[in-house]
Structure formats: structure tokens, C-alpha cells
Amino acid sequence: MFTAYFDEAGGDDLGYMFVAGYVARVEAWERFEVDWKLFLAKFDVPYLHMKEFSQSKKCYAKWRDNEPQRARFLGMAAEIINAHAKRAFVSMISCELFEKADQIYALRERFKSPYVLTGRACIGLANNWARNPKTQSLDIEYVFEDGGPDKGGLVSSVEALPPYLPAPAFKPGRDEKPSTNWPEGRKGLVQLQAADYLAYEARKVAFNIVNGRPRIARKSLQALTSVPLERSTWDSPRLLRLCEGAKFERRPAA
């Protein structure tokens, strides 16, 4: 039995959407959880959240000018991920290209947002990887960070067109305090923090490219590459092939 954990990064502010994550056997994720919690305790932080870390906010404010400590923190996180994850998946799309394709074909009627398309693509990548070649059976669960921008759209997308895929579950990546919706609070899944790390670092590479900075991956992303990576990149020709091949309705000419 495998479980895949995914998180998203990017959006309209960057112009690109990323969904990324890892898959491993359930027992490997159980060992990961133990190691990850010991790692967090060692650095005296309650969780890994890359946006807060990059901006030295909240529990990371104490390391604002301590680059050696920050590097050690990310380096150890990468080591734990490399030791337990079996495969990595990243899907990306330009928000502009998505909008242009939707102006030609009824793309949003099947995939309501760039997040939905890239999320489904990651499920598809993991699905193909985990399928037993002898029985064609699937023993895999898909878990997405609960804060995603379009959970309903992602759920409906798995049956938007063949091959139909298993529906994802949504869980928080960090412990949540009691609230109206969750009177007893919610336990966060630390496995989703690994997905957050990968998604953020993939986003950072795109940010550098968009802003004319060197294209070489940051050291923190390079540290993760010992986990075999499968990618799904949506350029304009691929988007149009999808719409044409699935016979999406063509919109009237303006």
C-alpha cells in the first residue's frame, strides 16, 4: 500500500501553478514521521512551512540572519525526505496559457483552474507509477494539503475524462487548534510538509526564470533530487492536444 502526499505553490502572483509531492509505502511514511518529528524537535520548531521559513516569519524569525543554521535545517529536511520517499512528482502550468486555451475550448468546464489540472496530472503520474503491471490493480491513496485553492474542482476532475482516477483526500499539514468546524482540532500530517518543501522549491526555480535570474536550481532543491522525479509540464501544444483529443467544446469566435 502506497500513499502520495501533494501540496501546491505559485498562482496568479507568479503566473505559474505547481503541484508537487512524494509517494512511498505506508510503512516508509511511518518511519518518516518519527524521523521528521525528531528533526523538528532538534531545531525547536513545530513544523516546516517554506513560505514562513523563506521570509523568516513566526517560529523562523530567530534565524533571520543565521544562514548556517537555515542551511542545516533545510539540509537535514532533504536528507530525511531522500531516505524515505520513493518517487517525486511535479506538475506545472502557466496561468496565462491556461486562460488562452480556455478562450478557445471549454477547458474550465472540465478543469476549473490551473490547480485542478496540475493536481490531476500529479495523481495521474502517481497512478501510472504505482499500477501493478501484472494485475493492473492500484494500492495507493492520494492526500492533498487541505488549504488548496479548489478542492471541489480537483475532486470532480478525476472523472472529467478517461482514464478515471481515484478521488483525493484533503488533510492539514500542521496541527490545527479547535474551531467551529473542528471542535477537537485537527492533527496535521507531517508528510505534507515534505510536499510543501518540494512545491516551494520548484516555484522558486520558476520565479528565478521569470525574473531573469540564473536558471540553476537552488541548493535546497538540488538536495532533493536523489529521489527520482517525474514531471508533467503543460505547454500550449499539449493543452490544445488535450482539448482536441478529449473533444472539448470549441468556444464561439469572438
pLDDT for residue 113: 96
* pLDDT per residue as tens digits for the range 239-250: 999 999 999 999
How many residues belong to the chain? Answer: 254
Give the 3-state secondary structure percentages of the chain, helix then strand then coil, rounded to 5. 45, 20, 35
pLDDT for residue 14: 86
pLDDT for residue 122: 96
Q: What is the mean pLDDT of the chain?
A: 92
pLDDT for residue 214: 62
Domain residue limits, the chain: 2-245
If we measure between CA atoms, which residue out of 20, 14, 92, 53 comes closest to residue 174?
Answer: 53
Give the right CATH number for 2-245 from 3.90.79.10, 1.10.3720.10, 3.90.1010.10, 3.30.420.10: 3.30.420.10
* Mean pLDDT, rounded, for 6-31: 94
Q: How far is CA 70 from CA 19, 63, 219, 220, 226, in A?
A: 24, 7, 12, 11, 21
Contacts of 23 (CB under 8 A, 6+ apart): 2, 3, 4, 5, 85, 86, 87, 89, 126, 129, 130, 140
pLDDT for residue 217: 62
pLDDT for residue 206: 75
pLDDT for residue 26: 96
pLDDT for residue 158: 94
* pLDDT per residue as tens digits for the range 118-149: 999 999 999 988 876 654 556 899 999 999 99
Chain-centroid distance of CA 26 in Å reads 18
Contacts of 114 (CB under 8 A, 6+ apart): 17, 93, 95, 98
Which comes out higher in pLDDT, residue 215 or 113?
A: 113
Peptide bond preceding 163 in cis form (omega within 30 of 0): yes
* pLDDT per residue as tens digits for the range 164-213: 998 999 999 999 999 988 898 999 999 999 999 999 998 887 777 666 66
Contacts of 143 (CB under 8 A, 6+ apart): 3, 4, 5, 6, 168, 169, 170, 171, 189, 191, 192
pLDDT for residue 208: 73
pLDDT for residue 130: 83
CA dist 58 and 115 (Å) reads 27
Are the CB atoms for 200 and 50 separated by under 8 Å? yes
| Model confidence at 11: pLDDT above 60 | yes
| Model confidence at 5: pLDDT above 60 | yes
C-alpha cell at 28: 516508509
